A and B are shown apart, each in its own frame.
Chain A
Amino acid sequence: MRGRFSGSMITVAMAAAAIGAVISLSVTRTSVQAQATHPARVGGKPNFSGIWQANNEANWNLQPHAALPAAVTQSGIFPYDYARVPAAPVLALGAAGGVPGSLGVVQGDGQIPYKPEALLIKKANAEHWIDRDPELKCYLPGIPRAMYMPYPFQITQSTNEIHIAYEFSNTARTIHLDRVEGPPDDTWMGHSVGRWDGDTLVVDVTNFNDRTWFDRAGNFHSDALHLVERFTLMSTDIIRYEVTIEDPKVFTRPWRIAMPLYRRVEPNIQLLEFRCNEFVEEFMYGNLRKQQLVKHWEGDTMTVDITRKVPPGDGFYQWYGK
C-alpha cells in the first residue's frame, strides 16, 4: 500500500515536473521568440518596437480625481458635488459607466494651469461631453491622447522613421528622425520630429489643429499646442513616457504628464481592428434616417426612449465640427 502510494506520488511528481518543464520551456521559447523579433537595439539605439499599451485612467481624466458615477452626471437629491448621479444617456450602464478614480498623470501639483477663460471652456466641455468629445465621434484622438487610450498600439522603429499604429480607429503617426519639411496644414495627430538624447527618444510635436482633447474630462488645447515627448526604456517591457505640454493660448505655463507604457507580452499579440467610424454611424447620422432606427429599449426596471433631432441652421454642421 505504501509502495503504491509512493508510486502514485512519484507518478504525480513526475507528471508535475513534466508539466512544469513544458510550461517553463514554452515561457522560455516565448521570451526567446519575443527577443528574436525585437532585438534590444536598432541602429545603435534602444529599440521601442513592439505592441504597447498604457494601463491607467488618463483617458478618463488626466488630473487626480475620486471615482465618479459616470462621465456625465446630474444633481442627486442633495445639492452637493459629491452626491451626483449618472445622467440619462449613461444611466443604463450602471457600474460599467462609472469613472474609476486616479492619482492622475499630471506632474507637480496635479493641476492643469488653464487661463481663466479657458477653464470655463473646459468646464463647458465636460458638461457637454456627449456632444463635444471627439472620441465619441471616432475622430482622430491626437497626441498625447492616443498614447494612453485603452487600446494597444504598435511601434515599428527603423533608423530614419519610427511609425506608430494605434488600434483605435486606424490612427497612426510617423516620428521623423531625418529632416523633413513641415506639413502643408495643421493636423490632428501632429507633426512629430524625433532625436536621441542618449538612450532617450525626444520627440517634438507641432502643427496641431484645435480639434482634439486630452481626455474624456473636457481638457482641450488650441492650434498653438506644442509637445515635447520623452520615451525611455525602464526595462525590456516598460517605457517611461513623459510629455511637456505648452499652449500659450490656453495655459499660463507649460505642464507635464508622465506614465509607464507596458509591453503586451502575450505570445501572439497583434493589433486587431477597431473601426469605430462604422460603429458610431447611428450616433452621428441616426437622426437623419427616413425612419428612426434606434428608439426604444425595455429592461426590467426601466424603459429608454430616444427622440432624435436635427440642430437648426448652421448648428447642424457645427455639431460635426466640434
Chain B
Amino acid sequence: MRTRLPMSIVAVMVTISVLAVLKPTNVTTADQAPVASVTTPPAGPVLKTPWGEPDLQGIWTDESDTPLQRPARYANQEFFTEEQRAELDKERSALLGRDKRVEPGTELDVAGAYNGVFMSFKHTGLRTSLIVDPPDGRIPALTPEAQKIAAADRQFRLALLQATETCKNKSVACSGGSYDPTPSPQRTALPPRYNTARMNRHDGPEDDALPDRCLTGGLPEFGNAYGGSFRRIVQTPGGISMFYDVGQGQGWQRNIVMNGSPHLPTNIRQWYGDSRGHWDGPTLVIDVTNFSPKTDFQGSRENLHLVERWTRAGPSSLEYVVTIEDPTVWTRPWTVKQEFTKQSEQENKIYYEPRCVEGNYALPSLLLGARTEDRAFAEGRGPDPATRDNATDFVGVEEDPLQ
C-alpha cells in the first residue's frame, strides 16, 4: 500500500514555503516548479545587492537527495511523481533508523560505526538525476584511454586484496578479482598513478584516500552524503568570495577572479583549479581550469574543465548548473543541475569552522596500527597483514532504494 504524505503536512510545507519568502528560515522544501530546460534561468525580478549586482549571498546547501545518475528503473523519467517521492522517503527513513549491528568481533562490525550519526539522508528531490545532459541522466561513455586507466587502477586495488578473506568469500568488494593465498607482488609496488582513493595498504600516508589525509574536497561540489555540502557566499562590488564546508570538516576557499584577466599559466596547477568569473545578466559564469593531477573527479584529473552557472532562482533558492568536460576521459561533456536552499545566517552552527587536519588523529592511528601489525607478523605473533582487508567500507545502511 502506497503511503502519501498526509495533506496536513503538505499544507504545513506550503505555509512554510510562503513564510520563507517573508522571513528566511531554514525550513523550506523545494518551492518552485521543475525547470525542464538546462540553461534558462527562472523568470522573475532579479534579487540585487545594495550596489546593484545580482545577489547570490548567503549560506546555501542542497536540502534534498537526488542521485547523480538516473537509476535504471526510472530510465525515461526526468522527474519523480509525488507518490514516488513519498514512497522513497518512507523506505529511506526506515533504513536510516536501522543501525543494524552485524556479528560482533568482525571487521564489518568495527566499520559499521559509520552509522546514522555520520550520514545525512534528506528528503528525496524532484529529479531522478542531477545529470540533466545527456538526456538519459547518465555519465557519458569513457574514452578508451580512460577505460584502460580505470582497469589498471582497479586491477591494482584487487591485487592488494587477493590474499584476504574478502576475496576468499567472493565478497562484492572483490568482484573482478579472485582469491590467491599468496599475496600479490603488487603489495610492494606503486599504484599506476597518484593515489586518491582507498586501498588495502597503509605503508605511508599516500596509500590512504584523500579524505583520510584531509586533502579532499574538490570541484565540482554539489552535494555530499557524509556531512553535507555548504557554501557561504559573500559579495562586494566587483568581487565574490565562496567558502565551502563539506563532509567531515573539509572546507576550502575559492578565489574567483572577476577582473577579466586570463587563466593562470599552465604550469600552475591547483587542487581547486583556477576560477575566472563574469556576470552574464543575472547569472555568474565561472570557468575553472588548471586542476592538479592530484585531484580526481570521477576519473578526471588535470584536464578537467568546468563551466559553472550560478543564478539566484528565488528568495531562498540558488540554481547551480555545471558543465563538466575532459576529452581525455569522457566522450562528450555532461551537465549537472542542482538547487541550493538558503540557510539561516543567524544560526552560527550551520556553517562552522570547516577544518579536518587539526583533529585528524585517525591517520597517524591507522598508520601506527599498520606498523604494529607489521611488527607482530615479523615477530611471529600475528597474521600476515597482506591477508587482512583494512579498506572495505561498510556504510552502515543497506542498499538505498534510490539506486
Chain B: minimal CB distance from A105 (Å) = 26
> B169 in the interface, Cβ–Cβ < 8 Å?
no
Interchain residue pairs with CB less than 8 A apart (21): A38-B236, A38-B239, A39-B237, A43-B50, A156-B235, A158-B49, A159-B50, A160-B345, A174-B243, A178-B346, A181-B346, A181-B348, A181-B349, A187-B353, A275-B271, A288-B204, A289-B203, A290-B203, A290-B204, A317-B364, A317-B365
A179 to chain B, nearest CB (A): 7
Nearest CB to that of B272 among chain A residues?
Answer: A273
CB distance from B291 to the nearest CB of A (A): 11
Q: Is B38 an interface residue (CB 8 A)?
A: no
Q: Are B258 and A184 in contact (CB under 8 A)?
A: no
> Which residues, 274 to 330 on B, are CB-close (under 8 Å) to A?
294
Taking A39-B237, A156-B234, A180-B346 as given, write out 19 further A-B residue pairs in contact, using a Cβ cutoff of 8 Å, ordered by the A residue number. A37-B259, A39-B238, A42-B51, A42-B236, A42-B237, A47-B236, A139-B357, A158-B57, A163-B232, A183-B353, A191-B348, A270-B255, A272-B270, A273-B271, A285-B205, A285-B363, A285-B367, A288-B371, A293-B204
User: Is B353 a contact of A189 with CB atoms below 8 Å?
Assistant: yes
Q: Which of B354-376 contact A (CB under 8 A)?
A: 355, 357-358, 360-361, 363-365, 367-368, 370-371, 374
A263 to B240, CA, bound (A): 18
8 Å CB contacts to B: which residues of A136-156? 137-140, 154, 156
By a CB distance below 8 angstroms, the chain A residues around B345 are 160-161, 176, 178, 180
Neighbouring B residues of A196 by C-beta, 8 Å: none
Pick the contact of A161: B203, B234, B253 (CB < 8 A): B234
Task: Let me know if A271 is at the binding interface, CB within 8 A.
Answer: yes
Check: A257 CB closer than 8 A to any chain B CB.
Answer: no
User: In whole angstroms, what is the CA distance A180 to B232 when docked?
Assistant: 15
- Give the residues in chain A near B204, CB-CB below 8 Å: 285-286, 288-290, 293
Q: What residue in chain B is nearest A175 (Cβ atoms)?
A: B234
* Chain A residues with CB under 8 A of B205: 281, 285
Other-chain contact of A140, B203, B232, B235, B358 (Cβ < 8 Å): B358
Q: Are B361 and A317 in contact (CB under 8 A)?
A: yes
What are the nearest 8 A-B pairs in CB distance? A288-B367, A156-B241, A163-B234, A290-B203, A37-B238, A289-B204, A49-B236, A165-B253
Is the contact region of chain A dominated by helix, strand, or loop, or is it mixed?
loop
The answer on a CB contact under 8 Å between A170 and B353 is: no
Complex interface: chain B residues within 8 A of A33 (CB): 259
Q: Is the CB of B364 within 8 A of A284?
A: yes
Query: Chain A residue with minimal CB distance to B356?
Result: A277
How many chain A residues touch the partner (CB < 8 A)?
A: 60
- A188 with B358: in contact, given A154-B255, A170-B251, A289-B203 (CB under 8 Å)? yes
Interface flags, B224-264, vs A, CB<8A=1, else 0: 00000000101111111101000000011101011101001
Assess whether A71 is interfacial by the CB under 8 Å rule. no
Per a CB cutoff under 8 Å, which of B51, B358, B360, B374 touches A290? B374
Question: Which residues of chain A come closer than 8 Å to B360, judged between CB atoms?
Answer: 320
Q: Which of A37, A160, A178, A275 contacts B239 (CB 8 A)?
A: A37
Query: What CA separation (Å) do A46 and B29 show in the bound complex?
Result: 39
A156-B236, A158-B49, A158-B236 known; A183+B352 contact, CB < 8 A: yes
**In the complex, A191→B349 CA distance in Å?**
12
Across-interface contacts of A277 in B (CB, < 8 A): 213-215, 357
Are the CB atoms of B253 and A172 closer together than 8 Å? Answer: yes
A230 at the interface (CB under 8 A from B): no
Judged by a CB distance under 8 angstroms, whether A132 is at the interface is no
B348 contacts A180, CB within 8 Å?
yes
* CA of A232 to CA of B347, assembled, Å: 29
B347 CB to nearest chain A CB (Å): 6
- Shortest C-beta distance, B76 to chain A (Å), equals 43
Chain B residues whose C-beta falls within 8 Å of the C-beta of A42 in the assembled complex: 50-51, 236-237
Is residue B268 contacting chain A, with contact meaning CB distance below 8 A?
A: yes
Q: Shortest beta-carbon distance, A54 to chain B, in Å?
A: 19
CB < 8 Å neighbour of A165 from B51, B243, B270: B243
CB < 8 Å neighbour of A268 from B236, B259, B270: B259
What residue of chain B has the Cβ atom nearest to residue A169's Cβ?
A: B357
**Residues of B contacting A285 in the complex (Cβ-Cβ under 8 angstroms):** 204-205, 363-364, 367
Does B346 lie within 8 Å of A179, measured CB to CB?
yes
**CA distance in complex: A115, B234 (Å):** 41
Q: How far is the CA of A133 from the CA of B314 in the complex (A)?
A: 47
Contact of B255 (CB < 8 Å), options: A37, A139, A157, A165: A165
